[in-house]
Amino acid sequence: MIQSKQVKRTNAIIYVVLTIVAMVVLYPLFFILINSFKGKFFISRDPFSIPSGETFVGVDNYINGLTKTGLLSAIGWSFFITIVSVALLILFTGMTAYYLARIKNKWTNGLYYMFVFSMIVPFQMVMFTMSSLADTFHLKNPIGMCILYLGFGAGLSVFMFAGFVKSVPIEIEEAAMIDGCNPLQTFFKVVFPIMKPTAITVAILNAMWIWNDFLLPYLVIGISTRYKTIPVVVQMLVGSNGNKDLGALMAMLVLSIIPIIIFYLTCQKYIIEGVVAGAVKG
């Protein structure tokens, strides 16, 4: 009986702590949402109040932001770059991880640890060299961005895929080869379907990163082309010398986070399973 009360008290404390943490995490989103419906002059005057009366402007900030930034075009390019980059990451890093996990020699081990090491290299160390190479190889376009994201995201993706492949019994692949499958058929028809939880986790993590990334598109594509992504056009609303439209900025932030939230909520049940299967066993 005493233990039962202690368990209930512990659970209650945990729930209170988690509730507080959830409120802290969600409040910035709530702050952006309420200010997206307030006039830009009222945001700086009283940023924490609920819009009402003269402060409420309806969807004017959204219309104004879309007009100023061309966000719809940026959403299209962001979708293209994110979807293509994630598809390339899943395909190529999945195959690479499968090869590295199954072929054991000093070269594959060295290559695997190079992928792992790449995860801890700060982007700032390579961004100027990368920008120069992107200019040399004509990668300053959406397709080039997808190739660059494939390179920068390969480390984590290979690490997670390789950890999962190590948990797949080799007997399954041997049975497929006995039935007449070549290595490619074995991977795509047998191994890859088993890798689905990890593939979805890799897709979620990379999609959130690519969708929200500002620095790489800004350095490679810049603001003078029609290929601008969402973070780049949202940054344009910040302005300079105090000349900024906070209402439109908040509205565009709301529109920019909605797709990735929907994507995450749709796939969230796979993320823990994939992280545990990939990272722990790796």
Domain ranges of the chain: 2-55, 60-280
Gap between the Cα atoms of 229 and 236, Å rounded: 11
Q: Specify the amino acid at residue 220.
A: V
2 falls in which pLDDT band (50, 70, 90)? low
pLDDT at 132 over 50: yes
Average pLDDT, the chain: 85
Check: CB of residue 148 under 8 Å from CB of residue 88: no
Name the maximum alpha-carbon separation found in the chain: 75
276 falls in which pLDDT band (50, 70, 90)? low
pLDDT at 50 over 90: no
CB atoms within 10 A of CB 218: 15
282 falls in which pLDDT band (50, 70, 90)? very low
Structure tokens at 78: 């962001």
Structure tokens at 120: 């801890």
Question: What is the tens place of the pLDDT at every residue in 142-177?
Answer: 999 999 999 999 999 999 899 888 888 888 888 888
Structure tokens at 139: 């990668």
pLDDT at 211 over 80: yes
First to last CA, the chain: 42
Gap between the Cα atoms of 146 and 197, Å rounded: 23
User: 187: which residues sit within 8 A by CB, 6+ positions away?
Assistant: 95, 98
Instruction: Please give the model's pTM, rounded to 2 decimal places.
Output: 0.83
CB atoms within 10 A of CB 215: 12
Question: What is the tens place of the pLDDT at every residue in 95-127?
Answer: 999 999 888 888 999 999 999 898 888 888 888
- What share of the chain in percent tops pLDDT 90? 23
Which pLDDT score, from 0 to 100, does residue 142 have? Answer: 92
239 falls in which pLDDT band (50, 70, 90)? low
Structurally, at CATH architecture level, domain 60-280 sits in Orthogonal Bundle (1.10)
- For the CA atoms of the chain, what is the radius of gyration? 23
40 falls in which pLDDT band (50, 70, 90)? confident
Check: CB of residue 23 under 8 Å from CB of residue 6: no
Closest-CA residue to 173 (of 162, 194, 187, 158): 187
- What share of the chain in percent tops pLDDT 70? 92
